[in-house]
Structure 1
Amino acid sequence: MSRQGETTVLFDALGPKGRRNANIASVISALVIVGLLALAAVGLAGQNFFEASRWINPLDALVVENTWVPSIIATLQAFALGSVLALFLGVIFGFGRISQFGLTRWVSTGYVQFFRSLPLVLLIWISFTIDGHFGFTTGTLGWSGEARRLTFLVVGLGVYNGAVLAEILRAGVAALPSGQAMAGHAIGLRHGQVQRLVVLPQVLRNMLPAVLAQLVILLKDTSLGYVITYPELLHSADIIGSDYGNSYLQALIIAAAIYFVLAYALSKLVVLAERRLRKKTAAPLARVKQIEASAVAD
């Protein structure tokens, strides 16, 4: 099917009058947006928002080197570790929900339903404050300061997002045609091999946009490290804004711009990974479909 056919399969193509009305609505919407932006710009200009000194201070070379760059590194570190933990838990409990063993399904469902229902900031705060109870502290392991905060931020991010990713993967497996697994069993694969070699690659490929969206959310959720004073972007922006009282909003906007760049770069990396995954799985999937067709014919 052509790309044009794909974009119109769910609705009828607009006629001349419909296209004209759509163009008029687009122009009006653009004018309204431009007008609101202009109104906001005039209001901010009246408060000297665009004054050069208010932007120079938070972008000073020493501030960038000593605050912005370390905060970006800290944010990416929390994101990377949290993503690894979330993906690991998501795969484990996602497939646990469709396991052949009742106890595994029960435990996996309980994990997903419980942690998905809790606010992430609560998980981070509880994990951080419970440290020191029951005769155990992270200090006994040599963790203190930033490492301690990073540990509990990653735990909160991984546990919560792992529950969400588990539900995403379970939905992906449920949406996969049952013939795919049947074809794997037909060639002598065990249940675990079918899940790992046939089901998982297709689910990851099909659900990659949803997984990406959740990882972008995880990246933004690193800002919740602010509540335990982890030195991520938002916390650093608050410090810079406090040091330069007339540049507080500017510091927050700079942090927002950095978040946008990081999220946009992440989306591009995942698009490249998706293309490589499609190429890698194209041949094996074609072979599985041939076996499935032969099994159905027999």
Structure 2
Amino acid sequence: MTSVLYDVPGPKARVRNLLIGGVGTLLVLAVLGFVVYRLIVTGQFEPRLWEWITYVNIQYLLLDALWNTVSAFLVAAVLSLLLGALLAAGRLSDHSWVSRPAVVLIELFRAIPLLVLIFILFFGVSRAFGIDIPAFWAVVIGLTLYNGSVLAEVFRAGINALPKGQSEAAYALGMRKTQVMTNVLLPQALRAMLPTILSQLVVVLKDTALGYIILYPELLYQARFLGSQGQLGSPILQVAMVVAVIYIGLCLILSGGSKLLEKRMSRTPKGGGAKPAEAPEELAGVL
């Protein structure tokens, strides 16, 4: 039996795949076990290296850093989605005076490394134009310009992947291009684009850590600060593990929210479908 994209594995192939998966799982567990063993042997779990987390002031410091990370992510995520939609609409425009500048902006901001973009916003703009951009907005604007340009290509690819018959049928009904885009194409393309959009939003969340370069007090900045404190035992590895757990939790929350949204979008009304239309009275005798 075959599928459209691949041959369905037979009994021997299923056994082979099961063995490969089992061996791979054992290898991963072995590596994790070795890492934990080395951490125990080198004394990384000694209580004195974890006392810092019991201090109330440090807990408040981490909560402030968490809020700084989340706030920068939320603002940058919303602005990136808006900018991506705007650039995608511009690139899909039939007018060259709109589509060409959109293409230039997309390719430009995709090509510039995000860290360089943040440096230009934080240091270059103030020196060249005398405008002081706070660290928060330097991080947010940099994330917005880079990820917005990437999301623009995601939106464009998702819309172009739909069958042309969808838009042709809508145009045949007399819809304008704006109506076709918002009422016909986008609702269908959004389901296919949602996993990719989620992946890019996770990138936005993790890239907020680049703010520590310009002294934005987010999680990584505070982790570096706490890990360098000699009176705490310089617990750089311990702080890094706590921050890593926080980032993993944030990504899991984002992933869970996306799955709930995807289920809600794909939910269909209960029942066996629409009720068949009754035949007109003049055709009742024929049918």
Quickly name the TM-score band, shorter chain normalised: 0.7 to 0.9
Cross-structure match for 1:68: 62
Q: 3-state SS of the aligned residue for 1:110? A: helix
1:108 aligns with 2:102: yes
Q: Which amino acid aligns with 1:29?
A: G
Q: Which amino acid aligns with 1:215?
A: L
Between stretches 226-235 and 47-56, larger displacement belongs to 47-56
Cross-structure match for 2:46: 51
Sort the Cα spacing of 1:206 and 1:59 in 2 relative to 1 into closer, same or farther, 3 A: farther
Q: Which amino acid aligns with 2:178?
A: G
Cross-structure match for 2:255: 267
1:99 aligns with 2:85: no
CA contact (8 A) 1:58 1:250 kept: no
In structure 2, C-alpha distance between the alignment counterparts of 1:99 and 1:81, rounded to whole Å:
27
Q: 3-state SS of the aligned residue for 2:145? A: helix
Sort the Cα spacing of 1:104 and 1:59 in 2 relative to 1 into closer, same or farther, 3 A: farther
Q: 3-state SS of the aligned residue for 2:50? A: helix
Cross-structure match for 1:33: 28
- Which residues in structure 2 correspond to 1:1-298 (within 5 Å)? 9-65=4-60, 67-138=61-132, 148-243=134-229, 244-279=232-267
**Unpaired stretches in structure 2, ≥5 consecutive residues:** 275-287
In structure 1, C-alpha distance between the alignment counterparts of 2:210 and 2:54, rounded to whole Å:
23
CA contact (8 A) 2:49 2:233 kept: no
CA contact (8 A) 1:180 1:199 kept: yes
In structure 2, C-alpha distance between the alignment counterparts of 1:59 and 1:181, rounded to whole Å:
60
Q: CA deviation at 1:136?
A: 3.3
- Cα deviation code 1:138-192 (max 9, x no counterpart): 3xxxx7xxxx111110000000000000011111111011121122222222112
TM-score under structure 1 normalisation?
Answer: 0.83
In structure 1, C-alpha distance between the alignment counterparts of 2:41 and 2:34, rounded to whole Å:
11
Task: Work out the number of aligned pairs and report it.
Answer: 269
CA contact (8 A) 2:82 2:148 kept: yes
Percent identity of equivalent pairs: 36
Q: 3-state SS of the aligned residue for 2:235? A: helix
Q: Which one has the largest radius of gyration?
A: 2
- Cα deviation code 1:16-42 (max 9, x no counterpart): 332332333233223322222222222
In structure 2, C-alpha distance between the alignment counterparts of 1:134 and 1:54, rounded to whole Å:
46
Q: CA deviation at 1:275?
A: 2.6
TM-score under structure 2 normalisation?
Answer: 0.86
In structure 2, C-alpha distance between the alignment counterparts of 1:90 and 1:123, rounded to whole Å:
17
Q: 3-state SS of the aligned residue for 1:130? A: helix
CA contact (8 A) 1:58 1:247 kept: no
Q: Which amino acid aligns with 2:48?
A: S
CA contact (8 A) 2:88 2:152 kept: yes
Q: CA deviation at 1:95?
A: 1.5
In structure 1, C-alpha distance between the alignment counterparts of 2:129 and 2:151, rounded to whole Å:
33
Q: Which amino acid aligns with 2:242?
A: I
Q: 3-state SS of the aligned residue for 1:207? A: helix
Q: 3-state SS of the aligned residue for 1:57? A: helix
Moved over 4 A (4+): none
Q: CA deviation at 1:59?
A: 4.7
**Unpaired stretches in structure 1, ≥5 consecutive residues:** 288-298
> Which structure has greater helix proportion?
1
In structure 2, C-alpha distance between the alignment counterparts of 1:153 and 1:128, rounded to whole Å:
8
RMSD over equivalenced CA pairs, Å: 2.3
Q: 3-state SS of the aligned residue for 1:246? A: coil
